[in-house]
Amino acid sequence: MPNPAAHIESNLNASCRVIISGGGTGGHIFPAVAIANELRRRRPDADILFVGANGRMEMTRVPEAGYRIVGLDISGLQRRLTPQNLLFPVKVFRAVRKAGKLLERFRPDAVVGVGGYASAPVLLAATSRAIPSLIQEQNSYAGLVNKLLARRVDKICVAYDGMARFFPQDRLVLTGNPVRSEIAGGSREEALTFFGLDPARPVLLVVGGSLGARTLNQATAAALPQLQEAGVQLLWQTGKLYYPNAQQEAAPFAAAGLHALEFIRRMDLAYAAADVVISRAGALSVSELCLTGKPCVLVPSPNVAEDHQTKNAQALSSRSAALLVTDAEVPHKLYNVALDLLRNPARQTELRRNILPLARPDATTAIVDELEILIERQRALAAR
């Protein structure tokens, strides 16, 4: 199998060279791209390389954002005993070895891990070579890989208070989650025109994460007649896997403003158009909702490590900043809750008032500040 580093050339004249590793979902990819964009804004000649997992969505999304990416052959552990699990240690060993060769060729000043399959081998290889390293933990409950690597890395940027129960206190920095700078800048008038919506009728946005959510998609399909009757317009991001069926289900309701969309690239406009949002409770989604100040109903996915989405959602619902509906409650409860909220402007105002103070609009800046400190500290040590 070819070495993934074989065609990577490092720009030794760049003001800095940084590797950003991880991916798997938009919740890892978009924060990683936000970090890269801020670093490039400060240092236009910075040489930035992404490392992802072959076959995962970062291998297309990162090049679309204008960055190079190298893929490693790595995947996660299955929750049951499978032949793939038996091969997992071998895959990790090979991935760490390939990551090491990549580091030796690219010669980064620092490495950033954002979570996801590729993050672990790159950080293991980097810390074993004393390359400055930073973890960005998006969730209120730390992931297993980040917990295992915490004592090896130099800095851990977190989005929630109370993370010292997972990480060494002296390496922690509370920064918030990086969110694309344009996400809160959409104009409602432009948004309604872009999606072809009626400004006189309420808009519901449904987002099941970048990969889609079966439970939300099934409930939304079943609720289409109810939404039409209520005069509600719908922007429904289904995810690639579910889109063909969802498109077929929504087609008879298109004239009523109920739209199924595989993936929404202009999320700034989707948020600007929405009066209420139904969303999974991934870290990126929660951070975007805080920044945009949208009244929302959070439905945590039950299929994530350590049930961290429930903890993310509870961080908001406990402050009356969001409503929480469990995945099990979705079929009989979700759309009653959402429609009640759409009919209750006072409740929307309360949720908006309580969620906005939880936003951290300067998160990306704070993380890149920490990254630059590591780079300059290492250069000062090397110059002695």
Q: Which of 241, 224, 235, 294 is CA-nearest to residue 266?
A: 235
User: Does the annotation flag 283 for ligand binding?
Assistant: yes
158 three-state secondary structure = strand
Edge to edge, the sheet with strand 17-21 lists 68-72, 47-53, 17-21, 110-113, 133-137, 155-158, 172-174
Helices 308-317 and 283-292 pack at an angle, to 10 degrees, of: 20
Q: Which of 172, 116, 121, 135 is CA-nearest to residue 304?
A: 116
User: Does the annotation flag 25 for ligand binding?
Assistant: yes
User: Does the annotation flag 171 for ligand binding?
Assistant: no
User: Does the annotation flag 210 for ligand binding?
Assistant: yes
Q: Which residues are CB-contacts of 337 (< 8 A; sequence separation ≥ 6)?
A: 297, 323, 325
Structure tokens at 115: 């979570």
User: Does the annotation flag 162 for ligand binding?
Assistant: no
User: Does the annotation flag 26 for ligand binding?
Assistant: yes
User: Does the annotation flag 285 for ligand binding?
Assistant: yes
Structure tokens at 154: 């130099």
User: Does the annotation flag 257 for ligand binding?
Assistant: no
User: Does the annotation flag 27 for ligand binding?
Assistant: yes
User: Does the annotation flag 286 for ligand binding?
Assistant: yes
CA geometry: angle at 78 spanning 72 and 79, to 5°?
155
User: Does the annotation flag 76 for ligand binding?
Assistant: no
Backbone angles phi, psi at 245, to 5 degrees: -70, -40
How far is Cα 119 from Cα 116, in angstroms, rounded to an integer? 6
12 three-state secondary structure = coil
User: Does the annotation flag 287 for ligand binding?
Assistant: yes
How far is Cα 56 from Cα 205, in angstroms, rounded to an integer? 26
Task: Tell me which DSSP letter residue 173 carries.
Answer: E
Q: How far is CA 375 from CA 2, 104, 151, 153, 246, in A?
A: 31, 17, 19, 13, 47
**Known binding-site positions for UDP-N-acetyl-alpha-D-glucosamine:** 25-27, 139, 180, 210, 264, 283-288, 309
**Known binding-site positions:** 25-27, 139, 180, 210, 264, 283-288, 309
